Amino acid sequence: MITEVLAEAQRKMEQASEHVGSEFATVRTGRANPQILHRIQVDYYGSPTPLQQIASFSVPEPRLLVVQPYDRNSINAIEKAIKASDLGLNPSNDGTLIRLSFPTPTEERRKELIRMVRHMAEEGRVAVRNVRRHSKEDIEALRGEVSDDEIRRGEKELQDLTDRFVHRIDGLLSDKENELGEV
């Protein structure tokens, strides 16, 4: 029974760390990264559609992202959605594709982005700790059905699992901070 609780905790902690990684991917650095466009919804023939479903992306240069719509009629809607997003990008439309130029962020903007990713990482660590707390309660509820030694062993394994995922989130944060610090 304790192994089931631990397996469920590991699955939830894995989801939390993956979520932090995907959130980090959406933070705009000075480099072109197609993942920052994954949150953009385009009004495509009256229904909101994720951009990646109606266009392909390529990165011909480190600071240039090219968006090529599958349907040329949707290019204006895509351009409008990118302008309306909070990414601060200015799309250049030539009628067949959209070019997004990524300027080098200023020092002030870098510090702001680093604060933002640290906050995202802290939210991820809190999510992992919440999973630990709920799982620990589930393990404690098994008292009487299993021995105290098994409960202690389960709690130790749960703490080791928590430490491992918090360390993983810290590693993701460190990588993202290094990426944001590059000029």
**Where is pLDDT greater, at 86 or 83?**
83
CA-based max dimension of the chain: 71
Predicted local distance difference test score (pLDDT) of residue 63: 82
Q: pLDDT tens digit string along 70-82? A: 988 889 899 898 8
Are 28 and 102 in contact by the 8 Å Cβ rule? The answer is yes
Say whether pLDDT at 123 is over 90: yes
What is the domain partition of the chain in residue ranges?
Answer: 2-25+106-181, 34-101
CATH number corresponding to 2-25+106-181: 1.10.132.20
Predicted local distance difference test score (pLDDT) of residue 171: 95
Residues above pLDDT 90, as percent of the chain: 43
Predicted local distance difference test score (pLDDT) of residue 158: 94
Tokens for 173, please give them.
């944060």
Please say whether the structural domain 34-101 has been given the CATH code 3.40.5.90.
no
34-101 matches 2-25+106-181 in CATH topology = no
* HEC letters along the chain: CHHHHHHHHHHHHHHHHHHHHHHHHCCCCCCCCHHHHCCCEEEECCEEEEHHHHEEEEEEECCEEEEEECCHHHHHHHHHHHHHCCCCCCEEECCCCEEEECCCCCHHHHHHHHHHHHHHHHHHHHHHHHHHHHHHHHHHCCECCECHHHHHHHHHHHHHHHHHHHHHHHHHHHHHHHHHHCC
**Listed range (16-25, 120-129, 154-163) with the worst mean pLDDT:** 16-25
Q: pLDDT tens digit string along 112-122? A: 889 999 999 99
Predicted local distance difference test score (pLDDT) of residue 153: 94
- Phi, psi at 91, each rounded to 5°: -70, 145
Say whether pLDDT at 105 is over 70: yes
The chain-wide mean pLDDT, for the chain, equals 89
Say whether pLDDT at 142 is over 80: yes
